[in-house]
Amino acid sequence: MISTKFLLRVSFLLAVVACWFFLQHPATTLSSHDQGLDPDERFVLETGQPVGELSFEVLEDKTGIHLPSRLFFAHADGRPESPVVGRFKNFLVTASGRELKTIPVGRYDVYVSRGIEYTLDRQEVEILEGNRSHFTSTLSRAIDTSGFISSDFHLHLQFAMRDGAIVSAAAGLDLLTATDHNILKDYSPYIEQLNLGRFMSSVVGSEIDTVFGHYNSFPMSLNRWQERSYRHSIRTPGEFLRLMRRNPGDEIVQINHPRYDASKGGYFNTRLNRDTGEIEYPFFETGFDQVEVYNALTVVEDGENPQFGRNHKLDQNLKDWYSLLNRGIAITGVGNTDAHRYPSELPGYPRNYVLSETDNPWEIDPYKVVDALKRGASSASLGPFIRFSIDDGVQMGATHTARDGSVMLHVNVQRAPWIPLDRVEIVANGKVLKTLSTLEAPEATRHHWDIEVKADQDTWILVLATSDRPWETPFSHFSSFAFTNPIWVDFDGNGYFDPPNPGYPANDTAE
Ligand SMILES: [Zn+2]
Ligand SMILES: [Zn+2]
């Protein structure tokens, strides 16, 4: 029989061994308390670097409110390698605009941004081991976008949805349009949980792949498209569009990346001649609401350091779009990112500005956004913001009858001080009618022109704004490009717009 004394001795010995073991091997797994850590802090601690603390605030100068924003960290001594300060490596994003973070020891330049409508700020900070540093960054509104709300109509926020809401708010988007592949994602609970409701609202949509291209649609409340065999059994774009419109029928259907590799969903490839603009496909469907004239994922200039801006791929997309407008096909042009990976692909660069009765994100009605987009009352922007109207406030997308064969264009272009602008082009029926340089006043951030246009033929008119110069750090992989949708001017006064190139040349058999 084992004595009680013996059992006590064994227990004591086991306890001593256990204590010795834990002293030699401190726990390396996270305790339940640690698992509640800020995800950036956990990332930084796992790198094993010595750390200190950074408390920061990002304020809007006029109102003093804390802003959702994005912080880019670079080593202050100019070392090219990126510091790791959180789960997005050298970036932090903040929903609250006021945070306390654990940061590796070092000296940093911190660039604070909130998208293209705000100034860009730079702060210098030094983090010492075990100490706390602080900075307050003040951003001001650099451009007036009143009367318009911003959205990126092609987003795959393929990481945690909470992070997706934060990075979109930090980019200054008013409306988060969720368009993941063949599924529906609702960001509204995250927007509420993060207290972002005063800055952003959201709408549920999807990107649907078919055998003849990829299409985004929103708002969507039910999804019949999960099954690939069903999606891919649809034979023509027309049949697809009819099914899309069936119920409830008041959504946007957008042609995505129209010149992407044919096997990857470029609808225009093999269907719309890239040189002549001739339609080369008997089932070419023209009833889509909008087309991605700018899709950042596919018009980027490839290479080691991808550059986003105006390039030959974007010019091809403009040419394709113009060829449709010249037939009188009023398809709205949009600019989206198709961002999949943060932070290398950034939501909202470019984005769209949609004419809106409200400037308050919480009052955005997705169906009013749909109405405005279907009318073509929007512009797209990678940097500059364009207001364009004709005569007494006739807006983009409208058809307008000229008085005595003449109209007055009102063109207003704004930019934030860190975003260059070189020239503004007026395009009429696909041809550049006038180029306006902004280089005579390089410091000016607002430009306005009133331009009289006379014509004897009906003419659609739109505005482009471009610069070939890179933006400031940390956005030097961007250069500026913006475009409006056209205003359709009935110059001959017969009450409607007679397109300059009516009909389908490919099907023209009248001989
Ligand atoms: Zn796609
Ligand atoms: Zn996509």
DSSP 30: P
Residue 210 CA to ligand 1 centre (angstroms): 10
* Residues 126, 104: Cα–Cα separation, whole Å: 10
* Ligand number, closest to the Cα atom of 338: 2
Per-residue pLDDT of the chain (511 residues; tens, 9 = 90+): 455 565 556 565 555 554 454 444 433 333 334 456 799 999 999 999 999 999 999 999 999 999 999 999 999 999 999 999 999 999 999 999 999 999 999 999 999 999 999 999 999 999 999 999 999 999 999 999 999 999 999 999 877 899 999 999 999 999 999 999 999 999 999 999 999 999 999 999 999 999 999 999 999 998 989 999 999 999 999 999 999 998 778 999 999 999 998 777 899 999 999 999 999 999 999 999 999 999 999 998 877 788 999 999 999 999 999 999 999 999 999 999 999 988 889 999 999 999 999 999 999 999 999 999 999 999 999 999 999 999 999 999 999 999 999 999 999 999 999 999 999 999 999 999 999 999 999 999 999 999 999 999 999 999 999 999 999 999 999 999 999 999 999 999 999 999 999 865 444 444 3
Task: State which residues have CB under 5 angstroms from ligand 2, the bound ion.
Answer: 207, 338
Report which secondary-structure segment, H or E, holds 362.
none
* Ligand number, closest to the Cα atom of 264: 1
All structural domains of the chain with their residue ranges: 34-139, 148-490
Residue 259 CA to ligand 1 centre (angstroms): 11
DSSP for 411-468 reads: EEEE--TTS---EEEEEETTEEEEEEE-TTSTT-SEEEEEEEEE-SS-EEEEEEEEEE
CA-wise closest residue to 415 among 343, 485, 481, 474: 481
Look at the chain and count its residues. Answer: 511
Residue 308 CA to ligand 2 centre (angstroms): 17
- With 0-12 / 13-18 / 19 or more C-beta atoms within 10 angstroms meaning exposed / middle / buried, residue 432 is exposed
CATH 3.20.20.140 corresponds to the domain 148-490: yes
CATH class of 34-139: mainly beta
- Coil, helix or strand for 342? coil
Q: pTM for this structure?
A: 0.91
CA 465 to chain centre: 18
* Residues 475, 418: Cα–Cα separation, whole Å: 9
Residue 181 CA to ligand 1 centre (angstroms): 8
* Ligand number, closest to the Cα atom of 157: 2
Residue 258 CA to ligand 2 centre (angstroms): 12
